[in-house]
Chain A
Amino acid sequence: MTEESGGRSATTEQMARAASRFVALADTLVADFDVVELLDRLVEDCVDLLDVTAAGILLRNADGVLDVVANSSEESRLMEVFQLESEDGPCIEALMTGEPVQIDEVRELRRRWPAFADAVQGLGFSAVYAIPLRLRSETIGALNLFNSDQANMSTHDRRLAQALADVATIGILQQRSLSRASILAEQLQLALTTRITVEQAKGVISEYGGVDVGEGFLAIRAYSRSHRIKLSEVAAAIVSRGLSPAAILAPHPQPPTRGRE
């Protein structure tokens, strides 16, 4: 049981401490770091920054095996282990569905996971939240937050929890893929350059043909499809005057019907 079961008043000192944890979490993203350490910080940050009593994380490792990796207290570790062994509970559900789970009342918890509800209550918790560690379609784990009071988590806190979970996810995936920042920066540059060039090409076609930019885009895309040249390459050719606007607006052969788009 936590000794400080009374109110956690957000004192200035507490906010300052929380702020420095947030900094520490971010620091791990720009240097070499240890995933376990990152996740330890994440659970500490959650307890400090959000109005929760305890936090824990279940993580699927690179081989797909689930494990309890970080906890703010022994109580939350037990809760994670319980879910892991019974292969059920809010954290497991968040992991499977990729969606957050929010249980504000023990009654609701009992209805869905009776055995887990007993364990939760036995350890002095009332409310449970599970937030997926997810990047796009990939869910690599879930963050569990426990509260000793029955209180709705504010929208603000939910968003901050999700943001912290997102950063941790990015950090883990970054380390797993061993991506170099310079490669990522090149990809970012390429994505932006392409987008800008396409917009410029739309302007060129729009002006030449006296059509709006939306129609300009459709003409560029039609050319790209019928000639099987990448949209970005067609756009770059238009902007560098390697391809005349007249050619883009001229009727093109229809693309073969096989290969749906």
Chain B
Amino acid sequence: MVSEDGDAVAQQSENLRRIAEFCRVGVARSEVDGMALSVLVSDVLEPVYSTDSLAERVADLQYTLGQGPGTDAASTGVAVLVPDIGTAEARQRWPLFAIEAQRLGVKALHSFPLRTADVRIGEASLYRRAEGVLAERQLRQATTVTSLLTSVLLHSEADPYTGSELRMSVHQAAGMVMQQTGRSIADAIALLKAAAFAEDIDITSLAREVLSGGRRFEALGERTGESDD
């Protein structure tokens, strides 16, 4: 339930404080450049928290493309460690994601499932701007922090969207596109993702354009006005 009282706001800020603290510790002790958390909602990984803008863009990219090490970590429940996202193997496994992540400046991406013994709730992805494996000690720290985060997320009574209006804009835009196109909400989300990918912009930027009225989707598919097909 989305309550609007001060209590819920206080709970949210307490959640945010804990999540931010553990992510900060995780980044420092695993000696990475940043991390992002995504939670599975109806089998879709929704980004809920990131330590910095690059981590956020990587999480958004994974959301937009529906592929990446984090997607695999969340669905299999096993950590996916990618010391070099530029290898042929990585490109074969995540053809779109590997190239795009590299373009953003990410070299290594290590994704850990957020899970308990019997429930998978999402993933945490830790990135570096330099290639390289996580040393055993760094790996242990990352595992520790992700299990702490799992516990925090599971016990957060307020929803864990920790005040990210940016992420909310994607869902608001989806509602607008649903109304503009007369399609289902699922189609509207797919249209947004497809347009973001085809036009090579982040989904949050596209969402902002939709919200400002600067960009509309028409009933018969999107209007690009410059289709080459």
Report if B80 contacts A (CB, 8 A): no
Contact across chains for A160 and B25 when beta carbons are under 8 A apart: yes
| Contact count band on B | 35 or more
Shortest distance between the CB of A198 and any CB in chain B (Å): 6
Query: A205 to chain B: which residues have CB within 8 Å?
Result: 175
Complex Cα distance, B179 from A201, in Å, reads 10
CB distance from B39 to the nearest CB of A (A): 6
Task: Find out whether the CB atom of B2 lies under 8 angstroms from the CB atom of A194.
Answer: yes
Chain B residues closer than 8 Å to A189, beta-carbon distance: 40-42
Cα distance A159–B145 in the bound complex, in angstroms = 15
Shortest CB-to-CB span from A234 to chain B, Å, is 11
Question: B198 to chain A: which residues have CB within 8 Å?
Answer: none
Q: Does B220 contact A (CB under 8 A)?
A: no
Task: Judge if B174 is at the interface, Cβ distance under 8 Å.
Answer: yes
**Which chain A residue shows the least CB distance to B168?**
A199
Given contacts A19-B140, A203-B175, contact A184 B147 (CB under 8 A): no
Cross-chain contact B179 with A204 (CB below 8 angstroms): yes
B151 within 8 A of A: yes
* A166 contacts partner chain B, Cβ-Cβ < 8 Å: yes
Q: Are A23 and B175 in contact (CB under 8 A)?
A: no
Judged by a CB distance under 8 angstroms, whether B158 is at the interface is yes
Asked if B155 and A136 sit within 8 Å, CB to CB, the answer is no
B172 near A136 with CB under 8 A, answer no
* Alpha-carbon gap, A31 to B118, bound state (A): 11
In the assembled complex, A193 has its CB within 8 A of some CB on chain B: yes
Q: Does A147 contact B (CB under 8 A)?
A: no
Please measure, in the bound complex, the distance between the C-alpha atom of A176 and the C-alpha atom of B159, giving whole angstroms: 22
A136-B11 contact, Cβ under 8 Å, with A185-B154, A232-B2: yes
Whether the Cβ atoms of A196 and B179 lie closer than 8 Å is no
Interface membership of B82, Cβ < 8 A: no
Could you mark each residue 104-132 of chain A with 1 if its beta carbon is under 8 Å from any beta carbon of chain B, else 0? 00000000000000000000000000000
Q: In whole angstroms, how far apart are the Cα atoms of A195 and B157 in the complex? A: 13
A89 contacts B by Cβ under 8 Å? no
Residues facing B in A178-223 (CB within 8 A) are 181-182, 184-185, 187-189, 191-196, 198-208, 213
Q: Which of A16, A163, A191, A245 makes the CB contact (< 8 A) with B22?
A: A163
Q: In the complex, A160→B20 CA distance in Å?
A: 12
Residue on B nearest A203 in the bound complex, by CB:
B175
Q: Determine the distance from Cα of A209 to Cα of B165 in the docked complex, in whole angstroms.
A: 22
| CB-defined contacts of A30 to chain B, threshold 8 Å | 116-117, 147, 150-151
B29 interface contact, C-beta 8 A: yes
- Known contacts A160-B25, A163-B25, A231-B2; A200 and B175 CB within 8 A of each other: yes
Q: Judging by beta carbons under 8 Å apart, are B143 and A188 in contact? A: no
Cα distance A19–B175 when bound, in Å?
A: 46
Q: A203-B174, A203-B179, A231-B2 are contacts. A29–B147 as well, Cβ < 8 Å?
A: yes
Q: How far is the CA of A206 from the CA of B1 in the complex (A)?
A: 22
Assess the A200–B171 pair: CB atoms within 8 A.
yes
- Decide: A185 and B121 in contact? CB cutoff 8 A: yes
| B148 at interface by CB-CB < 8 Å | yes
Q: State the Cβ distance, B53 to closest chain A Cβ, in Å.
A: 21
Asked if A163 and B18 make an inter-chain contact with CB atoms under 8 angstroms apart, the answer reads yes
CA–CA, A166 and B137, complex, Å: 24
Interchain CA distance A239-B176 in the complex, whole Å: 10
A196, closest chain B residue (CB):
B171
CB of B185 within 8 Å of the partner chain: yes
Q: Which residues of B contact A188 (CB under 8 A)?
A: 39, 121, 153-154, 156, 160
Bound-complex Cα distance A191 to B41 (A): 10
A78 to B168, CA, bound (A): 52
Is A38's beta carbon under 8 Å from chain B?
no
Which residues of A are in contact with B by a Cβ distance under 8 Å? 16, 19-20, 22-23, 26-27, 29-31, 135-136, 159-160, 162-163, 166-167, 170-171, 173-174, 181-182, 184-185, 187-189, 191-196, 198-208, 213, 230-232, 239-240, 245
Q: List 23 A-B contacts (CB under 8 A).
A: A22-B141, A29-B148, A136-B10, A163-B25, A170-B151, A181-B117, A181-B118, A188-B153, A189-B40, A192-B46, A192-B159, A192-B161, A199-B171, A199-B175, A200-B178, A203-B174, A203-B175, A203-B178, A206-B176, A206-B211, A207-B176, A213-B172, A231-B2
Known pairs A191-B160, A199-B175, A202-B172 / 10 extra A-B pairs, C-beta < 8 Å: A23-B141, A29-B148, A29-B150, A181-B154, A182-B118, A182-B119, A185-B154, A188-B39, A191-B157, A202-B175
Which residues on B are within 8 Å of A, measured CB to CB?
Answer: 1-2, 10-11, 14, 18, 21-22, 25, 29, 39-42, 46, 48, 116-119, 121, 137, 140-141, 143-145, 147-148, 150-161, 168, 171-180, 185, 211
